[in-house]
């Protein structure tokens, strides 16, 4: 499973704001994700993220 910066991932569990969609801001051993519903940012371990991903929407760049 290849997850890159700029990808939009859909997780199995929803965020308290109601959104399932997250934007990948940083990748490595840990990932920094931004909720697309409320802009909250979290750090999550690679193993935890890979276990909870439902789908990946690649190359969904938000840059102009």
Q: Is residue 1 part of a domain?
A: no
Q: Is residue 14 part of a domain?
A: yes
Contact assessment for residue 7 and residue 56, using Cβ atoms and an 8 Å cutoff: yes
Q: Is the pLDDT of residue 64 over 80?
A: no
In this prediction, residue 58 carries a pLDDT of: 80
How many whole angstroms separate alpha carbon 17 and alpha carbon 40?
A: 10
64 within a domain of the structure (yes/no) = no
> 17 is in which domain, residue-wise?
8-56
Is the confidence at residue 59, as pLDDT, over 80? no
User: Minimal CA–CA distance to 30: which of 42, 40, 44, 41?
Assistant: 44
């Amino acid at each position: 499973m290849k997850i890159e910066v700029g990808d939009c991932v859909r997780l199995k569990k929803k965020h308290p704001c109601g959104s399932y969609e997250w934007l990948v801001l940083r990748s490595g051993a840990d990932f920094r994700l931004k909720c697309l519903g409320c802009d909250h940012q979290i750090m999550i371990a690679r193993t935890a993220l890979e276990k909870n991903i439902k789908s990946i929407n690649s190359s969904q760049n938000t840059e102009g």
